[in-house]
Amino acid sequence: MPRIVRFHETGEAEVLRLEDLPLAVPAEGEVRLKVEAIGLNRAEVVFRRGLYLESPRLPSRIGYEAAGTVDAVGPGVRGVRVGERVSTIPSFSVGRYGVYGESAVVPAHAVAPYPSRLSAVEGAAIWMQYLTAYGALVDLGRLQAGQVALITAASSSVGLAAIQMAKSIGALALATTRTPEKQAFLREAGADHVIVTDAEDLAARTKALTAGKGADLIFDPVAGPFLEKLAAAAAPGATIFEYGALASAPTAYPLVEALVKSLTVRGYLVFEITRDPERLAAGKRFVTQGLESGALKPVIDRTFPLEEIVAAHRYMESNRQKGKIVVTVGG
């Protein structure tokens, strides 16, 4: 029987259990993967705590991203073959179709091949980060060459994906980090400039770097009081994409800046892309082309074996990572 990660109560990382469960049989429209690697996402921490958009049905599976080999297909599946090397796209119920474990069943539309030159570890670090960035920067934000993208929490896997994507478009990529420890890393990762927000005035520094204009597009998972600083750093007509709520304090709407600058402050989730077949197809093409050209390349911070899934979640919550945390399965 495959080992599967589940939790029987919500709470801290210790609620995650590795259990032996019967091998699942894919139903109509589903495929089963022999999992080789699992990409961790902050959404799964929030889900584990019972605070996510979706409430877990206990005992619950968990996990959006895995890379592996298709070892069974359900009735009615077309375009996915047994033996195909694929990774999963976050477009399904994280509790019903959670991928943490040695085996996972997911909808057939939620798998895609990835370039053969990438390892399984890299394959598990593709779709959440790149499609999240793609949706805001390309699909909705229409970022253009010569424009300015301000990317906060930039050392996260999504932040790094956004830096790479902005650079591939020809935009100026400004990255933020709270402390100087990650400054050199972000420059090496491709950021044109790095703003240390605990030591620098965000708006003043952004305007100094953009000849007084500010940022055309802002990509932020923090919100809270930080939103007022982002609005001050924005250019006239800019869009601020809020794709998370990491701040614990309430988020006040920056009305005066929004009025003066005609700003758009927009909530955004990757599911806007992954649950729309046409937009998803365009996103997959964009990301695959970037991976094949080398313009996009997953940054792996650290790997953990499946047996250390609790430690992997604790590490994610430490905020020390620079890129993707991946859990390896077998081998």
Average pLDDT score over residue span 46-57: 95
Check residue 330 and give its pLDDT.
Answer: 83
**pTM of the predicted model, to two decimals?**
0.96
Per the listing, tokens 């934000």 go with: 141
For residue 59, whether the previous peptide bond is cis, meaning omega lies within 30 degrees of 0, is yes
Q: Topology of domain 3-126+298-328, per CATH?
A: Quinone Oxidoreductase; Chain A, domain 1 (3.90.180)
What SS3 state is found at 218? strand
Average pLDDT score over residue span 55-63: 97
CA distance 14 to 45: 11
In terms of Cβ atoms closer than 10 Å to its own Cβ (0-12, 13-18, 19+), residue 288 is: middle
Query: Cα 203 to the chain's mean position, in Å?
Result: 26
CA distance 118 to 1: 29
Q: Extract the runs of DSSP E, i.e. beta strands, from 95-138.
A: 103-107, 111-113
Q: pLDDT digit string (tens) for 116-167?
A: 999 999 999 999 999 999 999 999 999 999 999 999 999 999 999 999 999 9
- E strand or H helix at 185, and its extent? helix 183-188
CA distance 306 to 101: 7
Check residue 13 and give its pLDDT.
Answer: 98
What SS3 state is found at 204? helix
For 77, residues 6+ apart whose C-beta sits below 8 A from its C-beta are 26, 29, 30, 31, 108
Retrieve residue 211's tokens.
């000849």
Retrieve residue 270's tokens.
């990757």
- Amino acid in position 13: A
In this structure, the number of other CB atoms found within 10 A of the CB of residue 104 comes to: 25
CA distance 79 to 268: 30
Average pLDDT score over residue span 267-294: 97
Q: For residue 93, name the pLDDT band (cuts at 50, 70, 90).
A: very high
Q: pLDDT digit string (tens) for 178-212?
A: 989 999 999 999 999 999 999 999 999 999 999 99
Residue 290 contacts residue 130 (beta carbons within 8 Å): yes
CA distance 99 to 102: 8
Helix-then-strand count for the chain, H and E: 11, 15
Task: Answer positive or negative: Cα dihedral of 92, 65, 151, 216.
Answer: negative
CATH: 3.90.45.10, 3.40.1160.10, 3.40.50.720, 3.50.50.60. Which one for 129-269? Answer: 3.40.50.720
Flag whether pLDDT at 40 surpasses 80: yes
What is the total residue count of the chain?
331
Domain residues of the chain, as ranges? 3-126+298-328, 129-269
